[in-house]
C-alpha cells in the first residue's frame, strides 16, 4: 500500500478481522442477491439514468467490478466485462460478454487496456477493498475520457471481510469515505453522493458517481 495515498485515514482503517486469502473465502459460488428487490431496482435505475445500460443511445462497453452472477442492469449494455473472485458466479452471469477472475486485493491493477471501457460500476463491494485508491486509480486508466464511474453500497456486508473502517462508520460516513477515495485517485470529477431509495423502505441504496476527466 502507498501510505501517502492514505494519509489522514486512521491506522488500521483498511485492515480486516479475517485477513486470510480471499480466494479461500470466495471458493464456492454464492448465487444470491445481497440487497433486496427495491435496492436492486434502484441500481438498475441509476445505470439507466447514467446512460450506461442497453437503452443508451449508442452501444456501451462497461466494466462490472467485483461482480458475481448478476449485474443489476435493467437491460445489459452491448458489452459487459465482469471481474470477480469466483469463476462459477461469473459464468452464471447472463449479461456478461467477457469474464475475468481476478483478486484486486492481491493485485489492484485492472487487467484491461487503457481507455477500454465507457463506464465502470461497483455494486455493494467497495467495502472489501484493502487498497481501494489504487484500484480506483486503475479504473480511471481503463475508462475512456468522459466515462462514468458508479459505486453503490448498502448497509449489508460480510463483516469479517469488510475493512475495519467501514464497520466503524455509518451510512452517511460511508458516502464521504467513498467520495474521498475517488477524489484521491486524481482521475475524476468531484464525486456526488446520493441516497437512491426511500428511507425506511427496505435496504438503503447509496450511490457515489463521478466522471473520468480528459
Q: Which of 25, 198, 210 is nearest to 122 (CA)?
A: 210
Angle between helix 132-142 and helix 171-185 axes, rounded to 10 deg: 60
pLDDT tens for the chain, 214 residues long, are: 777 899 999 999 999 998 888 776 777 766 567 799 999 999 999 999 999 999 988 899 999 999 999 999 999 999 999 999 999 999 999 999 999 999 999 999 999 999 999 999 999 999 999 999 999 999 999 999 999 999 999 988 888 999 999 999 999 899 999 999 999 999 999 999 999 998 878 899 999 999 999 8
pLDDT at res. 40: 96
pLDDT at res. 32: 61
pLDDT at res. 158: 82
Exposure on the CB side of residue 118, measured as CA atoms within 13 A: 17
The CATH homologous superfamily for domain 3-211 is Vaccinia Virus protein VP39 (3.40.50.150)
Nearest-angstrom CA–CA distance, 138 and 201: 35
Nearest-angstrom CA–CA distance, 155 and 39: 11
pLDDT at res. 29: 66
pLDDT at res. 57: 87
Name the residue ranges covered by the structural domains of the chain.
3-211
Nearest-angstrom CA–CA distance, 84 and 82: 7
pLDDT at res. 43: 97
Please state the separation of Cα 146 from the chain's center in Å. Answer: 18
CA dihedral for 32, 38, 43, 49, sign (positive or negative): positive
Amino acid at each position: 500500500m502507498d501510505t501517502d495515498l492514505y494519509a489522514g485515514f486512521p491506522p488500521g482503517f483498511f485492515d480486516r478481522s479475517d485477513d486470510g486469502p480471499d480466494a479461500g473465502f470466495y471458493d464456492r459460488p454464492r448465487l444470491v442477491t445481497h440487497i433486496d428487490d427495491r435496492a436492486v431496482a434502484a441500481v438498475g435505475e441509476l445505470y439507466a439514468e447514467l446512460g450506461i445500460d442497453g437503452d443508451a443511445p449508442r452501444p456501451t462497453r462497461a466494466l462490472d467490478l467485483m461482480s458475481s452472477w448478476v449485474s443489476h442492469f435493467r437491460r445489459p449494455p452491448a458489452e459487459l466485462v465482469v471481474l470477480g473472485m469466483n469463476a462459477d458466479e461469473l459464468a452464471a452471469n447472463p449479461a456478461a460478454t467477457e469474464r475475468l477472475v481476478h483478486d484486486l486485493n492481491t493485485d489492484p491493477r485492472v487487467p484491461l487496456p487503457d481507455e477500454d471501457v465507457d463506464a465502470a460500476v461497483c455494486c455493494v463491494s467497495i467495502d472489501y477493498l484493502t487498497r481501494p485508491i489504487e484500484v480506483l486509480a486503475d479504473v480511471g486508466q481503463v475508462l475512456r475520457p468522459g466515462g462514468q464511474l458508479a459505486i453503490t453500497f448498502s448497509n449489508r456486508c460480510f463483516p469479517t471481510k469488510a475493512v475495519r473502517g467501514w464497520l466503524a462508520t455509518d451510512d452517511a460516513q460511508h458516502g464521504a469515505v467513498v467520495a474521498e477515495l475517488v477524489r484521491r485517485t486524481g482521475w475524476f470529477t468531484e464525486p456526488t453522493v446520493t441516497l437512491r431509495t426511500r428511507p425506511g423502505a427496505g435496504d438503503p441504496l447509496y450511490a457515489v458517481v463521478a466522471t473520468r476527466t480528459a
